Amino acid sequence: MAQVRVRNKHQITIPSRIAESADIKPDDMLDVTFKNGVITLIPVARTKRKDSPLAYAGIARGLWGKTTSEIEIELGKNRGSWER
């Protein structure tokens, strides 16, 4: 039987061999119940998550520069190669 420590914010870490056996991945949801002195964790059925368009916000940050003027200069260099 594995033991885990309860952290400051009531957090626990599921031992890796148990998480692997149960196919629990980061960001999976678990139903938690407490009955007759027993805590039970049950993985919630996985469904394909649909990412919000906002999940992609900022993914290109710094790609063309950090300031507005740096970005304008970099885009100006590349505009000539764009097909019209």
Measured CA angle at 17 (ends 15, 21), to 5 deg? 120
This model's pTM is above 0.85: no
**Which residues face 32 on adjacent strands?**
41
Lowest mean pLDDT among 9-18, 48-57, 64-73, 75-84: 48-57
Q: What residue has token string 């039987």? A: 1
Structure token digits, residue 17: 């061999």
